[in-house]
Chain A
C-alpha cells in the first residue's frame, strides 16, 4: 500500500539518468536543459509538474511532482461520519464519481456484512459501466489532444459524454458529483423513463465508436506517434502495482471484475481486451475495445434489471465493529480501493484510498526516458491520471 510513496514522492532525484546514456560530444561544451513542465502547462491534466532534463529534445531525467491539489481527503474523512465521506469520494476522480461511490460503499458494506438488493446491484453495474464509457472516451479525447489534434476528437468525446452525464443528472441530480450510492444500496430509485433513455444512449454509442475509430485508429500520424512509445514491460507493470487498462495493455490478464467478481459481475459474460506490446497505442486501443465490452454489459444489465427495493437492510446506526476492511473495485483507471479501519465508533479510525492514478503514475519516468519531450506528454496522457485522485 505504501509502495507508491516510496517510489516517487519521497525519493531523491536520481543522480544518474537510468536507461539512457548521454551522448558525449567533443569540443563544444553542452548542457542539459532543465524544464519544469507544469503546474501551469496545457497538457498536464491539472496541476501536475514534471521536472524534465532535456538533451536537445530528449528526456534524460524526469521527476513527477504532485500535491498541488492536495485536499486532505483522508484526514477529513477520519473526522466525519461514514456517510459524510461519500460526497467527498465523488471528488477523487471527478470523471468517475459513480465508481468511486461504489468502491466506498462496497468497503462499508463489507464492514458490516450488508446485503445489497439485486436491483441495486444491477443499477450499480449500469452506472459503473456508463462511468467507464465516460472515462475512456474522455481519456481517448485528451490523449489525442495531447498528440496535437486541435480538440476535434476531444469535442466529439465531450459530445457523447454529455449524453451520459444527462443520464447521471436525471438519476442522481448531479452531472458529475453524483453522490448516488449508499451503504446497502442506492440513494433513490431510477426515475421513470430513465431506462428507455439509457437504452437509446447505449444503442447509439457503438455508431459513435465506429466513427471515432475511423477518425483515429488508422491515422498514420497517430500510429507513428504512439506505437513503440512508452513501452511498459509486464514485469515492471506487475512490480510497480499497475492496474487497470494500463496493466492489461501490457498483456497481463487482471481485471477485478473477473478476479473478484464483486457485485453481480459474475453474471455477465464479457471479454477482457489484451495488449501485447504495452505501448501508448496499446493503452489507447485497449480502452477503445473495453468500451465495446462495456456496451455489451450494459445491454445485458438493462435487459435483466429486476424489480425490487433499492436499499438493503442497512442498520440505522452505521457503527461498524472494530476491525479493518479493504474494499476494491475495477475502476475505469484501475484498482480503486478503500481501506477502512474502525475502532467501533461512528467515525473511521483510518481511512485510506488506493488511487489507481497515483500508482499508475509511478512508472512515468521509466516510460519517458529516452523519448522526446513531445512523447513525455503523450505518455502522461496514456497513463490516464486525474489529479483529484492523485493528490486527494
Chain B
C-alpha cells in the first residue's frame, strides 16, 4: 500500500524529476525511520520485560498497560536531561560520534528488503554496501571513546575497535557463502533464491506452505554453519552480551558512553539498537528467507503469487524472535575477557568460516541428484571441524573440576 502510494506520487511528480527524486527518498526514508524508532521503543520495553522475567522480577509495569508506555517516559526523561559535556573533551567529536553511530546504522537499513518491493535502496551490490557502512560504526565508537577524554571511555573505545574489526571478518565470510551460492550481491535476489519456486506457486496449499520455508539457506549445511557464525559475529559486532566488552559495566563503567548523558546517550542507545536491527535484518535476508514465510493464498484472489500475510509481517516477526534470543542470551551469559574474545574470533570462528566457504564451494559443484548425500556429509564434516577446533582450543578452555573434602 505504501509502495503503491509512493509509486503514485512519483507518477504525479513526473514533470520535475529532481523534485520527484527528493520526494521519493523522503517517502522511503521517513517511514523507515519512524518504524524503526518505534521498533526500538518496543524492543527496549521487550528487553526490560524479558530480562525481568528471566531474572524473576516483574519489570516496568507502571506506565500504561503492562508498562508499554515506559519507553515514552524514558524518552521524555532523556530529552529533558542535562547534556553534560566534559570540559576537557573534544567537543566537536563528542557531539558528532553519537550522530555518526545513528546515521551509519540507519543507512544500513536501506539495503534490507522488508517485503516485496520494500527495499529503500534497491542496488545490486547491497551486501557490500551494507558491510562498508556498518564499518563506520567502529569509527564512531572509537571517536566517542577518544573524544570523551576519560580513561574508561578510551579503554572502551579501544576494545570496541579491536572487537569489531576482528568479528567483521567471520561476519563477512559467512555472508560470502550465501553470495557464492546465489551468485548475486543483491539482497532482493538472495531473498528470491530462498523460495522453492515450483512449490511456492503450486495449487496444493500444503506444498505452498512448505515451499516458503524449505528454501531457507539455514536448512543447508553451509547455511546452518554460516548462520551460527553470522549470529555470533553479529552479537560481537553490535556489542551485545556476551561480547559487550566495550561497555562492560563491571569493569569499565560504561565504556565509550561513560561521558554521555541525556539525549546524546539516547542517540547512542538508539543507534546501537538500530544497528542490531540492521544486522539481524541482514541475517534474516541471508539465511532465514527474508520476508518469506508460511503463507496462504487469499480466498478472494486467484493470483498464485498473492499472499494473505504481507511479507513485512513475517520479516518483523523474525526480527523480534531473533531479538528475543539476543535478550535471552544477555540474561544468561557472563562476559568474555578481551584476549579470550580475540582468540575465539581468530582461532575458532575464522577457521570455521573459511572451512564453510570451501564446503559451500564443494556443494555448489555437486550434481543435483547427489545433493542429499553431499549435504549430510557436509553436515558431519562441519560438525567434526567444529569439534576439532574446540579440541584444539582446549588448552585455554578448561573443564569443571572434582573436589575433595577434608574431614
Residues of chain A touching chain B, judged by Cβ–Cβ distance below 8 Å, are 33-35, 41-43, 54, 57, 144-152, 155-156, 159, 215, 217-225, 227-228, 253, 255, 271-277, 281-282, 285-286, 289, 372-375, 377
Contacts and interface: CB of A to CB of B under 8 A. Distances in A.
Given A147-B335, A155-B56, A274-B403, A374 B248 contact: yes
Given A274-B403, A374-B248, A224 B398 contact: yes
Given A148-B241, A372-B337, A42 B250 contact: yes
A300 to B, nearest CB: 16
Contact of A372 (B154, B338, B401, B404): B338
A144 B331 CA distance: 12
A149 B330 CA distance: 8
B337 A281 contact: no
Contacts of B248: 148, 374
A270 B306 CA distance: 72
A147 to B, nearest CB: 4
Given A272-B406, A377-B251, A225 B337 contact: yes
A282 B397 CA distance: 16
Contact of B334 (A35, A144, A159): A144
B401 A221 contact: no
B367 interface: no
A150 B331 contact: yes
Nearest to B250: A43
Taking each of B152, B253, B334, B340, which has the highest tally of chain A beta carbons within 10 Å of its own beta carbon?
Answer: B334
B253 A225 contact: no
Contact of A159 (B54, B56, B244): B56
B334 A149 contact: yes
5 contacts: A148-B241, A149-B332, A221-B242, A224-B340, A224-B397
B405 interface: yes
A374 B152 CA distance: 12
B403 A286 contact: yes
Interface string B325-349: 0000011111111111000000000
A13 B309 CA distance: 69
Nearest to A255: B406
B61 interface: no
B335 A218 contact: no
B334 A43 contact: no
Contacts of A147: 250, 334-335
A286 B159 CA distance: 33
Given A33-B151, A225-B340, A372-B338, A151 B55 contact: yes
Given A253-B406, A271-B407, A155 B57 contact: yes
B51 interface: yes
A278 B336 CA distance: 21
Contacts of B51: 150, 152
A150 B398 contact: no
Nearest 3 CB-CB pairs, A to B? A148-B335, A271-B405, A147-B334
B13 interface: no
A196 to B, nearest CB: 25
Given A374-B248, A374-B251, A271 B400 contact: no
Interface string B382-403: 0000000000000011111101
Given A150-B51, A223-B397, A281-B398, 9 more contacts: A223-B400, A224-B337, A225-B335, A274-B404, A289-B405, A373-B155, A373-B252, A375-B337, A377-B250
A373 B252 CA distance: 9
Contact of A150 (B330, B339, B407): B330
A149 B401 contact: no
Nearest to A227: B398
A146 B250 contact: yes
A274 B401 CA distance: 12
A254 to B, nearest CB: 9
Contacts of B250: 42-43, 145-148, 377
B313 to A, nearest CB: 31
A219 B405 contact: no
Contacts of A41: 253
A35 B252 CA distance: 10
